Copies of this chain bind each other. A is one copy, B any other.
């Protein structure tokens, strides 16, 4: 089953548009897991067990593993999801973008080494740098469009031919780069007007929407502006808001409750 079919299935089964970002910073983990030899994995495992009935997908951020020299725990985390939360797809958030020969190596990293089901990529270098990912029709490819961070407008809001740069990206994905039907775009929850405009431009395209929770995005607007006509088509990512919901022995239980609460809040606006 390809990524977007798997995602559709978990959206239905768990009645959820929640994506949990698995971004474990060792310094912020509960004391009870810090002493493990594989603290990131142990932490993730508990979070996955507690949240798997409330989510449509998981999104580990590669930097947290690479930056802490714990790549093996990323690999174990993804394998654990495949085994213990079967059917729930994994987006590996890497935001790669490089010349073709290099991009092919990154595609190997994401899809073979780590066995992820989908990836995030950066469009700045153009189509040939995304092609090694897009050519994998079984995998999902989310292309950065309008990102959630404070200075995302530095380039993304520059207006060319009467349209902001991020709109050019959305139209390239919609009209050209999505030939295999396996592409989506990343649109931050923190810019709801742009989210609305992009949904009008791309009525069916899957959106990965980071920025609720710690980054402050408004869930009601995300649902009202971001969903397709069928009231789905978005994966709403929360990382810190869910994984750091608690910091004691009961951290996993708290994260499960936070994931369920976000799911229910989102669903309250989908009715």
Contact = CB atoms under 8 A, between A and B. Distances in A.
A161 B107 CA distance: 36
Interface string A91-129: 000011111111111111100010000000011111111
B165 A151 contact: no
Nearest to A211: B99
A96 B95 contact: yes
A155 interface: yes
Given A69-B113, A109-B63, A126 B154 contact: yes
Count of this chain's copies in the oligomeric assembly: 2
A66 B153 contact: no
Interface stretch (A10-18, A141-149, A220-228): A141-149
Interface in A28-74: 61, 63-64, 66-69, 71
A123 B215 CA distance: 20
A106 B151 contact: no
A108 B165 contact: no
B156 A124 contact: yes
Contacts of A265: none
B128 A149 contact: yes
Contact of A165 (B61, B122, B165): B165
Contacts of A152: 125-126
Interface centre among A61, A124, A129, A149 (most CB of B within 10 A): A124
